[in-house]
Amino acid sequence: MKILVITEQRQGKWNNTSFETLAAAQQIAQETSSSVIALVIGKGVEGLANEVAAKSVAEVLLVEHDLLEAYTPDGYCVALSQVINSAKPDLVLLPHTYQVRDFAPKLAALLGKGMIGDCIGYRHEGGKLVFVRQMFQGKTAADVTFQGAAPWFASFQAGAFRADLVKAHPSGKAPVNRVTVELKPEQIRTKPLELFREAKSAVDLTQAPLIVAIGRGIKVPENIPQAEALAKALGAEIAASRPICDEGWLPMERQIGSSGQTVAPKLYLALGISGAIQHVVGMKGARTIVAINKDQNAPIFEIADYGVVGDIFEIMPALTEALQKTK
């Protein structure tokens, strides 16, 4: 089998989840006696292609074009469908980034194929690949298989594989082969404009050693002071899952998750957070995770070191009091 990994860069900087997906590809290749080809797409990205060529891959495909300097879904779909038609991979793997979500399903459909997105793992069983992804906001896992002929497309969730496990090339460097693509300006219908960040946030949660985070379980904004009192007793920063910030109950800069900040504090105390995938990717690197939730089946407990099943409105004040006593 031939596995193609489509890496991601923006303005010449890697999206590091590319290497997680490369690690997954190497692992699948080992189990299925397959070869791995890495693809770098953009403009002026030869340096990145050389960098990935030092990893254990059979070949690196370098796809460059003036019209690929800034990402557009049309540009990527037109260019990559040509590359896939000529390289004929069996399996195309991508990191499950916002950019991949934007173009990869369309790319697969252009070729009459489907994509299994946001996978957290895979199994190789009876000569067949089974991909594992989450459903119902992480409450269930699902085994998904491809139907029909190759190429098959799959994307892996951030953190599903470890980038530091990418194997280096056994004898130096793989060949970097340039692939020419035909791309006309009129084929690109959207016009990308400037990239920007909103006003610089006053808090940098990535530097906070202790974080108390609230989710939907807090119910109404009037309950937030209880969580803030607990955070104060702990000496922690307050943070939240997306719905709380969407409601405007806490500023967006306090949001943890795929669209907010990614944190890895010493302690992450999750109050009334169910543990949807989008939140978990932003905090699963925490050293110690405590979850307090009324639903004992909440997915947050799958990654928690300590759990309390109960009413946060009873436990928050009790915990605040217990912490104050230890001071």
Partner 1 sequence: MKIIVCIKQVPAKDAPLSIAGNWIRESDIGFEMNEPDSYALEEALRLKEKHGGEVIALSMGPERVKQTIKEALAKGADRGIHIADDNFAQLDPLGSAKSLAAAMAKENSDLVLTGLQSDDHGFGQTGVLLAGVLDRPHATIIMAIEVQDGKLRLKRELEAGWFQHLECPLPAVLTIQSGINKVRYATLKGIMAAKKKEIATISRESLGVAVQPTQRVEKIYVPTKTKKTEFLTGTPKEAAAKLVEKLKFEARVI
- Restricted to residues 146-185, the positions that interact with partner 1 (CB under 8 A) are 146-148
By the rule CB under 8 A, 136 interacts with partner 1? yes
The only residue of 42, 75, 138, 215 in contact with partner 1, by rule CB under 8 A: 138
By the rule CB under 8 A, 137 interacts with partner 1? yes
By the rule CB under 8 A, 198 interacts with partner 1? yes
What is the C-alpha to C-alpha distance for residues 280 and 270, in angstroms, rounded to an integer? 11
What is the C-alpha to C-alpha distance for residues 63 and 124, in angstroms, rounded to an integer? 31
Q: Which of residues 291-320 bind partner 1 (CB under 8 A)?
A: 291, 295, 297, 299, 301-311, 314-315, 317-319
Q: Which of residues 207-226 bind partner 1 (CB under 8 A)?
A: 210, 216
312, two tokens: 């946060």
Q: Report the alpha-carbon angle 113-117-123, nearest 5.
A: 95
What is the C-alpha to C-alpha distance for residues 62 and 64, in angstroms, rounded to an integer? 6
Closest approach of Cβ 255 to partner 1, in Å?
9
By the rule CB under 8 A, 194 interacts with partner 1? yes
Region from 26-34, 50-58, 172-180, 186-194 binding partner 1, contact rule CB under 8 A: 186-194
By the rule CB under 8 A, 290 interacts with partner 1? yes
By the rule CB under 8 A, 196 interacts with partner 1? yes
The only residue of 258, 271, 272, 273 in contact with partner 1, by rule CB under 8 A: 258
Q: What is the DSSP letter of 170?
A: T
Closest approach of Cβ 90 to partner 1, in Å?
14
Q: Which of residues 32-91 bind partner 1 (CB under 8 A)?
A: 73-74
Q: Which of residues 224-253 bind partner 1 (CB under 8 A)?
A: 234-235, 242-243, 245-246, 248, 253
Q: Identify the bridge partners of residue 152 per DSSP, sorted by sequence position.
A: 91
Nearer to partner 1, 62 or 240 (CB): 240
Task: For residue 236, give every residue at least 6 positions away whose Cβ sits within 8 Å of its Cβ, in sequence order, or none.
Answer: 208, 210, 211, 212, 267, 269
Structural element, H or E, at residue 98: helix 98-110
By the rule CB under 8 A, 191 interacts with partner 1? yes
Match 């089946």 to its residue by tokens.
297
What is the C-alpha to C-alpha distance for residues 258 and 206, in angstroms, rounded to an integer? 14
By the rule CB under 8 A, 193 interacts with partner 1? yes
What is the C-alpha to C-alpha distance for residues 11 and 27, in angstroms, rounded to an integer? 29
By the rule CB under 8 A, 192 interacts with partner 1? yes
Are 284 and 303 within 8 A, CB to CB? yes
Nearer to partner 1, 60 or 80 (CB): 80
By the rule CB under 8 A, 134 interacts with partner 1? yes
What is the C-alpha to C-alpha distance for residues 279 and 241, in angstroms, rounded to an integer? 6
